[in-house]
Amino acid sequence: MSNKYFGTDGVRGTVGTDPMTADFAMRLASAAAQVLVPTGGTVLIGKDTRLSGYMFESALEAGFVAAGADVLLLGPLPTPGIAFLTQEFSADLGVVISASHNAYYDNGIKFFDKAGSKLTDAVERAIEANLSHPAITLESKALGKARRIDSARVRYQEFCAATMPDGLNLENLKIVFDGANGAGYKVGPRMLADLGAEVIPIGCSPNGRNINDGCGSTQPELLQLTVPAVRANVGVALDGDGDRVVLVDEQGELVDGDQLLYILATARQREGKLRGPVVGTVMSNLGLEHALKANDIEFRRARVGDRYVLEMLRETGGIIGGETSGHMIVLDQTTTGDGLICALQVLAIMMQTGKTLSELAAGMPKYPQTMLNVRTDKRMDPDKSAAIRDAVSKVEGELAESGRVVLRASGTEPVIRVMVEGEDKELVRTLAERLAAVVEEAAT
């Protein structure tokens, strides 16, 4: 059974259109409170820097308080910080107001349970079952109350810093930090500087409308130019809500999530601390799979979405997983995807080995890969189209054993992602464009 409102990462959409309205947010809070927060329970609410965050924060606060829950307002803070503080404050529920890597005119609402984990599909369906009813308001004596927590950023910053190996700091590292004008714009530079690094911040001046705009992990071009220009050792880029990270090496080359997985996994293996398989997704580069196999490290693919990577890690006993986009999970350090903590783990490996980031990433070849997004008027399942299935079969025949084809509907946007991967770059591009044209025709 599919959800009506919840996608792969909470509820998301364009502000002012259903479901991203103040009325819906209040009803969502009321529905979630009835399922997850007993009377007298506590809810944490954090957000990124979008202008609409103020509106949704107020609507959620009203819905939870009216349903009898106490609310702690944390202000702008990375999504993984909310997961951590939900446990730190022994809260019953953590709520994040963010549309992650999307533009400012979108927003979203996602939840963490009391263990700092994302909700299961069954819990999300239970919440949706209550959304058809108006928001409840208890009698005055049963209402909750709300207050702001000013220490949230410092507590999360200290938690991140504590994941560095004992006795290790970042002295003599020059780091360009790109906060995507988002939730990590304060905590990232301050934490790195406190650890001894020389920090050059970019994308750390949010105005409510510039989140992910020409900056951050989805648009790292400015970071790639800046790192070699200022002769920095490395660049770090978060996305708008701080749960994704990509790095840039000293030469200005992008180091994506697949390469970060390789660096983390091989380092843990050298230390004798790697457990279980490394988990990527169906979109992970074939070069990662081959590089890990060459190091006798098992690799498995989950569905796209960090929640599914996390599920497979838990099922298999693994500790390292992530997506090409930089949604990284390091379970021996935290419970969910965390861009800052992942970055710190890689920076620590650089300090311990004395190697540059380019040297650490060199062991993983990247196969040419083309991914095209085909926008649709509504969500559709490409597997149900005979024309698309036939086109995929023909492309796979041309690739033979030297590549892969992946088609999937995005869980956060009305697009079909068409990915073709193989040894021949030009052939990969040609086949991807041919397949995307078929998908576009089928989607109209």
pLDDT, tens digit, 9 for 90 and up, residues 350-376: 999 999 999 999 999 999 989 899 988
b/e sequence 239-256, b meaning 16+ C-beta within 10 Å: bbbbbbbbbbbbebebbb
pLDDT confidence of 3, banded at 50, 70, 90?
confident
Question: For every residue of 12-59, which 3-state class applies, written as one string?
Answer: EEECCCCCCCHHHHHHHHHHHHHHHCCCCCEEEEEECCCCCHHHHHHH
CATH number at residue 435: 3.30.310.50
Q: What is the pLDDT of residue 276?
A: 97
- Asked whether the whole model's pTM tops 0.85, one would answer yes
- Of the residues 100, 217, 284, 325, only one is catalytic, namely 100
Are 248 and 345 in a shared domain? yes
Closest CA to 85 of 101, 98, 96, 70: 96
What sections of 111-256 are H helices per DSSP? 121-130, 152-161, 187-194, 221-229
Please give the Cα distance from 407 to 423 (Å, whole number): 19
Does the bond joining 19 to the residue before it have cis omega, within 30 degrees of 0?
yes
Q: What is the pLDDT of residue 442?
A: 86
Q: What is the pLDDT of residue 1?
A: 52
Residue 230 in any domain: the answer is yes
Q: How far is CA 191 from the centre of its chain?
A: 20
Are 409 and 277 in a shared domain? no
Residue 5 in any domain: the answer is no
Residue 420 in any domain: the answer is yes
Q: What is the pLDDT of residue 4?
A: 87
Q: What is the pLDDT of residue 377?
A: 76
Are 163 and 145 in a shared domain? no
Q: What is the mean pLDDT of the chain?
A: 94
Percent of the chain with pLDDT over 90: 83
Q: What is the pLDDT of residue 423?
A: 84
The highest-confidence range among 255-259, 378-382, 415-419, by mean pLDDT, is 255-259
Which of 42-56, 111-125, 142-156, 181-195 has the least mean pLDDT? Answer: 111-125
Closest CA to 201 of 235, 231, 172: 235
Are 350 and 396 in a shared domain? no
Residue-number span of the structural domain to which 43 is assigned? 11-150
Are 239 and 355 in a shared domain? yes
Token readout for 243 is 């749960």
- Which residues face 404 on adjacent strands? 421
Are 46 and 81 in a shared domain? yes
Q: What is the pLDDT of residue 404?
A: 87
Are 389 and 354 in a shared domain? no
In angstroms, what CA-CA distances link 393 with 383, 388, 401, 409?
12, 9, 13, 18
The SS3 of residue 201 is: strand
**Which region, left, alpha or beta, applies to residue 406 given φ > 0 means left and ψ of -120 to 50 means alpha?**
beta
Q: What is the pLDDT of residue 38?
A: 79
Residue 81 in any domain: the answer is yes
Rounded mean pLDDT, 105-114? 96
Split into its structural domains, the chain has a count of: 3
Q: What is the pLDDT of residue 2?
A: 65
Closest CA to 415 of 436, 435, 395: 436
CB burial of residue 396 (10 Å; 0-12, 13-18, 19+): middle
Rounded mean pLDDT, 383-412? 86
Residue 304 in any domain: the answer is yes
pLDDT at residue 78 greater than cutoff 90: yes
Residue 231 in any domain: the answer is yes
Q: What is the pLDDT of residue 403?
A: 84
Which of 77-91, 135-149, 267-281, 375-389 has the least mean pLDDT? Answer: 375-389
Closest CA to 353 of 428, 281, 264: 264
Residue where a domain terminates, one of 150, 168, 183: 150
pLDDT confidence of 18, banded at 50, 70, 90?
very high
pLDDT confidence of 412, banded at 50, 70, 90?
low
Q: What is the pLDDT of residue 421?
A: 93
Token readout for 85 is 């503080």
b/e sequence 152-184, b meaning 16+ C-beta within 10 Å: bbebbbebbbebbeeeebbeebbbbbbbbbbbb
Are 94 and 231 in a shared domain? no
Residue where a domain terminates, one of 115, 150, 185: 150
CATH number at residue 115: 3.40.120.10
Are 259 and 131 in a shared domain? no
Kindly report, residue by residue over 233-247, the tens digit of the pLDDT: 999 999 999 999 999
Are 211 and 252 in a shared domain? yes
Please give the Cα distance from 275 to 317 (Å, whole number): 7
pLDDT confidence of 7, banded at 50, 70, 90?
confident
Residue 2 in any domain: the answer is no
Residue 6 in any domain: the answer is no
- Catalytic, 151? Answer no
Are 205 and 95 in a shared domain? no
Token readout for 392 is 């995929």
Q: What is the pLDDT of residue 376?
A: 84
Token readout for 54 is 């103020």
Handedness of CA 46, 50, 54, 60 (dihedral sign): negative
Kindly report, residue by residue over 126-138, the tens digit of the pLDDT: 999 999 889 999 9
Are 327 and 391 in a shared domain? no
